[in-house]
Amino acid sequence: MKNMIKNNTQYMKYIYSTLILLSFAWIGDAEEKNKNQVIQLSAKADPPGQMKFAQALIKAKAGVPIELIFKNPDLLQHNVLILKPGTKDKVGALADAMLTDPEALKKNYVPTSPDILHSSKLINPGGSETLKFTIKKAGDYPIICTFPGHWRLMNAILKVEN
Ligand SMILES: [Cu+2]
């Protein structure tokens, strides 16, 4: 009997130490997740049809994974493209040129260009898409919507800082 109690105590010690280790692992995991930067971007919708993003400037840290949640509460379709710094007009001109491309809709109105770092699909009214990416170098990265006729108004800056 005495032996059994001793075993029991050892068993409980084992259980406790396992629980403590598990909770450390859980805390570690939660901290890891907090390292992601969740950024909200939205099409302006009040009043509808403004062809603008609700945010003119969003900030992020260089080298930290970004989760960009793009929501479209507007009545128009929109997409979102992240561009290399200083290439807004260049990519915008390519977007304008897509008006004569019969495949444009199929391509979600995303032109082909090495200056486009990331892009979403064409998002319907009420829809959303999350883009996941990391930007290593600090800079001002243009964000534009390339739905025909939108980019001149519908643009913002993703400011990446060290
Ligand atoms: Cu748009």
Instruction: Going from the first residue of the chain to its last (162 residues), give the mean pLDDT of each consecutive group of 10, the final group possibly shorter.
Output: 57 56 53 77 97 98 97 98 98 96 96 98 98 98 97 98 96
Q: Residue 55 has which token pair?
A: 């945010």
Residue 35's pLDDT is what?
81
Are 19 and 76 contained in the same domain? Answer: no
Predicted TM-score (pTM) of this structure: 0.79
Are 57 and 28 contained in the same domain? Answer: no
Are 145 and 122 contained in the same domain? Answer: yes
Cα 60 to ligand 1 centre (Å): 22
Cα 50 to ligand 1 centre (Å): 9
Q: Residue 122 has which token pair?
A: 């064409």
Q: Which domain holds residue 82?
A: 37-161
Cα 154 to ligand 1 centre (Å): 6
Are 80 and 129 contained in the same domain? Answer: yes
Q: 120-124 — which CB contacts under 8 Å span 24+ positions? A: 120/70, 120/79, 120/80, 120/81, 121/79, 122/77, 122/78, 122/79, 122/147, 123/70, 123/72, 123/77, 123/78, 123/79, 123/80, 124/72, 124/77
Q: Residue 94 has which token pair?
A: 């390519």
